[in-house]
Amino acid sequence: MTEMRPDVDWELLLAQAEALMSVSRDRVANAANLSALLYQELPGINWAGFYFLLDDTLRLGPFQGRPACVDIPMGRGVCGTAAARREVQRVADVHAFEGHIACDANSASEIVLPLIRDDSVLGVLDIDSPVTDRFGGADEAGLRRIAQAWLDAVE
């Protein structure tokens, strides 16, 4: 059985994210602060962070949560699928996702947003939850705006 999705004030969260990222154009610094903000402000999550594309591998970047997989091949798992397909992956039950890579056994659902600039995949923003079906349409829309804010804020 799924739980009700918690309300998030996406306008406020976006404003907080933009303010945090306004002091630097550094990718890593902004990814670190954004990971911390999302981890702190999004209810019902257990991991929030970035993977950056290096050659054909997503390499772990700044995150909040339990230790994670360091390298994820393009096309593998939810993160690699999001990057390879260049599409948001919103997975209600990660255990039903063929090829899911279980970095944290407590994760039950996941949303991954590809970070694309000038037709190049830079990486992904990955958020996990221990709650099945945690991420809905409002979460996806809000996180799309936040991911775009990160892209706009970095060099």
**Residue 100 pLDDT > 60, yes or no?**
yes
Q: How far is CA 106 from CA 82, 109, 127, 129, 142, in A?
A: 21, 9, 13, 8, 24
Question: Poorest-confidence range of 73-82, 87-96, 100-109?
Answer: 100-109
User: Does the global pTM surpass 0.85?
Assistant: yes
Domain edges within the chain: 10-153
Tell me, which fold does domain 10-153 have in CATH?
A: Beta-Lactamase (3.30.450)
CB 47 within 8 A of CB 67: no
pLDDT, position 2: 45
Question: Poorest-confidence range of 64-68, 92-96, 100-104?
Answer: 100-104
Q: Mind listing the pLDDT tens digit for each residue in 20-46?
A: 999 999 999 999 999 999 999 999 999
What are the φ and ψ backbone dihedral angles of 137, each rounded to 5 degrees? -60, -40
